[in-house]
Copies of this chain bind each other. A is one copy, B any other.
Amino acid sequence: MDFLSDFFMRFGAQLQSPTLGFLIGGMIVAALSSRLAIPDAIYKFIVFMLLLKVGLKGGIAIRESNLAEMLLPAAFAMLMGILVVFIARYTLAKLPKIKVVDAIATGGLFGAVSGSTLAAGITVLEGQNIAYEPWAGALYPFMDIPALVTAIVLASIYTSKQRDTTDEAFSKQEYLSKKGGTLVKYGGQQDITASGYPSEQGSNTDERVKIWPIIKESLQGSALSALLLGLALGLLTRPEPVVDTFYEPLFKGLLSILMLIMGMEATARLGELRKVAQWYALYALVAPLLHGFIAFGLGMIAHYATGFTPGGVILLAVIAASSSDISGPPTLRGGIPSANPSAYIGASTAIGTPVAIAIGIPLFIGLAQVLMSS
């Protein structure tokens, strides 16, 4: 009882943070169909600034830290990235009316990491003076890439299996339809088609999924590039003056604007989410917290094993709870083209991210304070 009341009090306090306020403000503004819009250039620049700063701080920190400490958390991050996709594969994908590729792609996006959620987590921690390993932000790619790779590989295996099955069935049908002249002809009016030659493309190619191109594609995305660039600059040069006078002081403020955008975006994507099966909404509501809890547990193991700080444990849980909103979607659009982007982007942006930020962050902080404050 004491545990619970303590927890709820702390949880409640979090709800007043400006970070959350801007997120919810954005959701409401968009819901009232305001014409307020933050220009795309500003949005991209803010994301760049935030991730560069996380990278710079991480790089500076790594210079002075014992890298061995990072090993266990990094391994757990990788594990989480892969695990999340398999969870989606064996839960979401099994639900009625859910296309398997859509479910896998959704798992990939929820396994991947959101820079804005990570930045929000860091800001809230700093607002509460909770210490964390400054290199914790560098766990991002360790979870992000494995999640995207796993999703794309799983989807490719699944679709190539499917195709084999269909091909057999199809070759018969083709035989029949050939007499009719045109392969695809529905009704009198419909005499042109979108793709013209369905399924011909993949017919006789042996497509083994290549993993390296997927990793490269991820690393080349704008979000990871900014983070890794920051890491490298922090590690190899002496950027402290510019970090302390520019990137650091602007961080919190830029984040508040990003939260506003994410909130507006969440509302805007809700419509898209409505067009797909409602199971996506349920998944998007539950998955962030579930993933966060698992990662929190893994983090606690690292806490007791190698002294991973409570702040670090919280951040690990936060990035696990987060779902990618910037870098993930285009990678998945290219990697699993047959998946419906409305399903995964809707689920992630409209529900996953708000849940991770608004519920996840305060939840994991409250939990850490109760469980590790000794």
Contacts and interface: CB of A to CB of B under 8 A. Distances in A.
A252 B256 contact: no
A239 interface: yes
Given A245-B252, A253-B247, A222 B34 contact: yes
Contacts of A33: 220
Given A21-B239, A237-B17, A225 B35 contact: yes
Contacts of A239: 18, 21-22, 256
Q: Taking the full assembly, how many copies of this chain does it contain?
A: 3
Interface string A266-309: 00000000000000000000000000000000000000000000
Counting chain A residues whose Cβ lies within 8 A of the other chain, the interface size class is 35 or more
B32 A39 contact: no
A316 B340 CA distance: 54
Contact of A18 (B35, B226, B238): B238
Interface of A is mostly: helix
A221 to B, nearest CB: 6
Nearest to A30: B225
A176 interface: no
A232 B127 CA distance: 21
A70 interface: no
Interface stretch (A42-50, A95-103, A196-204): A42-50
Contacts of A247: 253
A41 interface: yes
Interface string A56-75: 00000000000000000000
Interface in A206-251: 219-222, 225-226, 229, 232-233, 236-239, 241-242, 245-247, 249-250
